[in-house]
Amino acid sequence: MFSYYLRLAFKSLRRNPILSALMVAAIALGIGSSMTTITVNYLMSADPIPEKSDQLYYVQVDSWDPNNPYDDESNDPPNQLTWTDATNLMRAKQAPAQTAMAKSGGIIEPVNQDDKPFEASIRLAFNDFFSMFNVPFLYGNAWSDVADDERQQVIVLTRAINDKVFGGENSVGRSMVMAGKTFRVVGVMDNWQPTPKFYDVNNGAFDEVEEVYMPFYLKEELELPNWGNTNCWKSPEGEGFKAFLQSECINFQMWVELPTQADKADYLAFLDNYAQEQKALGRFPRPLNNRLSNVMEWMENQQVVADDARMMMWLSFMFLAVCLLNTIGLLLAKFTGKSAEIGLRRAVGASKGDLFAQHLVETGLIGVLGGLFGLGLALLGLEGIKSLYGNFVDNLASLDITLVIVGLLLALVSSIAAGLYPTWRACNIAPSSQLKSQ
């Protein structure tokens, strides 16, 4: 029976080709625009590390100005840490795994004298960084605890930098000059690009990961520059790098891994305790306001999903609504036009259910066609977004299989929903009404 209905549906679509095209196009446009914005929003709000996003916590302590909260509206604590707090918390080692970090950069002088020196971004971190965030390695490993403590000049490279400097060879054990110092390569990462780049969203939530990784304390040792946001509520006391590190300026981030809720509670208690200690030393003038946010909470708090993207998604849903209303109207007109045929089918013995099924197949067919074209349009739309916004959205504008299925389902469900009322109306045409003239 299904194939009979399908044949009827095709026939019916061919009978009013323009009208059918209009309906398919309406659904395709609605689905296309919705899928485009859903994709962008879905990827922006995706869980970048689903296997442990609820065990990784971003650390915030309130070290801010006694006269002004860090954020007037939300009363959130500062979104980064001072050097003092980052190093104190790291030394306390109260979590099973933890890493403070910062963004920096420096000039790489390639081994090959012919290659030009170039600038590269640096992530200063502790060795737990790699295990906490499941960073894949192509060659070698993370550096050791000792390297962290002794401030050894060791580095981990991204695959791209290893390709650039060492031609893609296994460079573990070789040395490389950066920021005027010689480093020993201990590891080369495989391709890795969490989206969003959750571990440091306030320096570009969808930026590329840094190119070179080295022990955190080298910041002090080598006086590496601050990249990324630096925010101070009072100026450093005195000149020079030391004064900056000892200041109340925030430029550092910290993540801890806390497998259980008990661990989290313990760590929070530790932070509160730490804040009290600092108060005794004359710091932390504000009321106690420390916070641990897991990955998704942190993304939410930092509003990683751009307002424009959310706004576009709302608009595109409204767009879809218009397209569906359009389809309902056209289906209604179409099915009303078929009332003679429906009356006849009823007269020769088709039940309401039969007719309902027949017309539902017809609307379903329109929906599937619209969905397929809509997916095509979504691909086009995503290309458009890429060309409008530039490279930074490359990671945000690609359809995966889940999205394709979501798109087709959305098209099918919405078109059938759109067809429900017209179908119901059509099936309720009394067979006798057709016999009365007019």
Partner 1 sequence: MLEIGPIFRALMRNKVGAVLIAIQIAITMTIIVNSVFMIVERNEKMQRQSGLDEANTFHISSVGFGEGFNPRSTVEADLAQLRALPGVVDAIQINALPISGGGWSMGLQTEPGAEHDGTGVAVYMVDEHGINALDVEVIAGENFAPSDIRWRASRSPTWPNKVILTKAMVEKLFPDSPWADAVGKTVYINDNDPMIISGIIDKLQAPWVGWDNVENAMLSPERMEFTATRYLIRTQPGQRDRLMPEVEEMLASSNKQRVIRGMRTVEEDRERSYRGDSAMIKILTTVMVILTIVTALGIVGLASFSVNRRRKQIGTRRALGASQGAILRYFMLENFLISSVGVVLGAGLTIGLNILLVNTFEMNPMNWYYIPIGMLVLWLVGQVAVYGPARRAAGIAPATATRTV
Partner 2 sequence: MLVMNDIKKVFRTDLVETHALRDFNLQVDEGDFVAVTGPSGSGKTTFLNIAGLLETFEGGQYLLDGQDVSQLNDKARSQLRNEKIGFIFQSFNLIPDLDLFDNVDVPLRYRGFNAAERKRRIESALEMVGLANRMKHLPAQLSGGQQQRVAIARALAGEPRFLLADEPTGNLDTKMAHSVMELLKEINQAGTTIVMVTHDPSLARDAKRNIYVRDGKVSELHSVGQELPDAANA
DSSP for 323-359 reads HHHHHHHHHHHHHHHTHHHHHHHHHTT--HHHHHHHH
Residue closer to partner 2 by CB (options 311, 430) is: 430
Residue closer to partner 2 by CB (options 191, 432) is: 432
Q: Is 391 in the site for partner 2 (CB under 8 A)?
A: no
Name which of partner 2, partner 1, none residue 254 binds, using a CB cut-off of 5 to 8 Å depending on partner kind.
Answer: none
Segment 44 to 73, residues that bind partner 1, using CB under 8 A: 65-68
Burial class (CB in 10 A: 0-12, 13-18, 19+), 219: buried
Pick the stretch among 18-26, 217-225, 365-373, 430-438 that binds partner 2 (CB under 8 A): 430-438
DSSP for 71-100 reads STTT-PPPSSEEHHHHHHHHHHT-SSEEEE
Name which of partner 1, partner 2, none residue 320 binds, using a CB cut-off of 5 to 8 Å depending on partner kind.
Answer: none
Q: Can you say whether residue 115 is alpha, beta or left, with left for phi > 0 and alpha for psi between -120 and 50 degrees? A: beta
H helices of 105-247, in order, are 128-132, 145-150, 159-166, 218-222, 240-246
Q: Is 438 in the site for partner 2 (CB under 8 A)?
A: yes
Site size toward partner 2 (CB under 8 A) is 3
Tell me which of 91, 93, 116, 436 binds partner 2, using CB under 8 A.
436
Total Cβ atoms within 10 A of residue 430: 11
Please check whether residue 157 is in contact with residue 171, taking contact to mean a CB–CB distance below 8 angstroms. yes
The alpha carbons of the chain give a radius of gyration, in whole angstroms, of 30
Q: Is 435 in the site for partner 2 (CB under 8 A)?
A: no
Q: Is 380 in the site for partner 1 (CB under 8 A)?
A: no
C-alpha span between 348 and 293 (Å, rounded): 67
Pick the stretch among 91-99, 129-137, 350-358, 381-389 that binds partner 1 (CB under 8 A): 381-389
Q: Is 116 in the site for partner 2 (CB under 8 A)?
A: no
C-alpha span between 157 and 307 (Å, rounded): 34
* Footprint of partner 1 (CB under 8 A): 18-19, 22, 25-26, 29, 33, 65-68, 106-107, 109, 116-119, 179-180, 225, 234-241, 243-244, 306-308, 310-312, 315-316, 318-319, 321-323, 325-326, 328-330, 332-334, 336-337, 384-385, 388-390, 421, 425, 437-438
